[in-house]
Amino acid sequence: MLDVEIARLGPNDWRELKAIRLEALLQDPAAFSSTYVESETLRDDDWRRRLARTDAVTLIARGNGDPIGMAGAIFGAGGEAHVAMIFGMYVSGGRRGQGVGRMLLRELLQEIAAHPEMATIRLWVAPTQHAARRLYAALGFRVVENPDRSMLAGPGAHEEIAMEQPVDQGDA
């Protein structure tokens, strides 16, 4: 196992987020609701603002100092004050199967649990992402009826599965 560090990103870390996000969009485009082209054209200030949001958190995994994964959560997602939505989960191809995703998610679940107003953690996953679905299930997420079909509309839309767990199970 390589030396892995999980860190919370702030506005000054935007270059790291941009690098790993663009990699993710190239390597696994079906896992994201935005595209490489959309993200590539964002200005530096857009990346900084994303990391300055008070209603969200973004974590990065670094392996030997280099970005190898990311995961984030939005608090009060979709207008539901009690829901935290996990987004942008990604681990670099060469680092998969080494526990990096589990480390990122466990840390993210702890971040979410620190917000007492959060009662439910939700995420979306493509049906073809079998390893991700197994990881989420192993950490306590269960498939739920699609509570919001917004992920299924617009350009580049694709089928998504909604998974949830109560926040009090977040330390799985």
What does the pLDDT read at residue 155? 47
Distance CA 60, CA 37 (A): 22
The superfamily in CATH containing domain 4-169 is: Gcn5-related N-acetyltransferase (GNAT) (3.40.630.30)
* Per-residue confidence band for 140, with pLDDT thresholds at 50, 70 and 90: very high
Q: Tell whether the model's pLDDT for residue 159 goes beyond 50.
A: yes
Question: What percentage of the chain has pLDDT greater than the value 70?
Answer: 88
How does pLDDT run across 40-91, given as a tens digit for each residue? Answer: 888 999 999 999 999 999 999 999 889 999 999 999 988 889 999 999 899 9
CB 121 within 8 A of CB 84: yes
Report pTM: 0.85
Other CB atoms within 10 A of residue 30 CB: 12
Phi (first) and psi of residue 30, to 5 degrees? -70, -15
Tokens matching residue 24 = 């993710």
CB 144 within 8 A of CB 162: yes
